[in-house]
Structure 1
């Protein structure tokens, strides 16, 4: 994927098992927990392009969150701050080759950032 592409959508849920059953039955999504991502069911749409995760709902995570692929999380955070945004979650590693963070736009929308490579094979 390229800088600016939507790469992932997390859906906050209260019951991972019930949500897995609901979304797989409703939309035909393939949902599994790849090695290293136990407790975080990952979904893939039938088009094999769209995907994301079912993540535990929390106080700061109550609505679906889209993640945008960026060339550099650090540079994107700096640009967001300069443009009037803020940071909800600082950069954190996912794997040795990938990381994520969450920024907030001036209207209060939370946007996830992703950079790197994650293999689900």
Structure 2
């Protein structure tokens, strides 16, 4: 993935098993919870590139959220503030080599950011 690519889409759900059946039946998505993320079933589209997760619908998370890969979440969040957006969730670790954050653009759209590396060094 390159800077600016959409890398992941989370879909808020209230019943994970129902959602798994719906999306796998409708689109042919493979849906499995990876080790360490048992409460977060992740989907992969037939192209084996597109993917995302089925996340709990809660609080302000009530619409699908796209995640855009960036080279540096820290730099991107500074730019969000500079351009009149808001940071809804600061940089948080997913794993030792990947992080995420959530922003809101000036029109109120919520978008996730993703930064990852291929090695821990």
Q: Output the aligned Cα RMSD.
A: 0.9
Q: What SS class does the counterpart of residue 23 from structure 1 fall into?
A: helix
* Aligned equivalent of 2:76: 76
**Alpha-carbon distance in 1 for matches of 2:117, 2:71:** 11
Q: How many residue pairs get matched? A: 118
The answer to whether residue 15 in structure 2 is matched with residue 15 in structure 1 is yes
How far the C-alpha of 1:59 sits from its partner, in A, is 1.7
Spell out the pairing of 1:55-94 with structure 2 (5 A cutoff).
55-94=55-94
**Alpha-carbon distance in 2 for matches of 1:117, 1:92:** 15
TM-score normalized by structure 1? 0.95
How far the C-alpha of 1:37 sits from its partner, in A, is 1.1
Name segments (4+ residues, structure 1) moved above 3 Å.
none
Structure 2 residues without counterparts, runs of 5 or longer? none
The answer to whether residue 9 in structure 2 is matched with residue 28 in structure 1 is no
TM-score normalized by structure 2? 0.95
Q: What SS class does the counterpart of residue 63 from structure 1 fall into?
A: coil
**Alpha-carbon distance in 2 for matches of 1:106, 1:52:** 25
**Alpha-carbon distance in 1 for matches of 2:103, 2:82:** 12
Once the two structures are superposed, residues 22-60 of structure 1 have per-residue CA deviations (whole angstroms, 9 ceiling, x without a partner) of 100111000000101111000000011110000000121
How far the C-alpha of 1:117 sits from its partner, in A, is 3.8
Structure 1 residues without counterparts, runs of 5 or longer? none
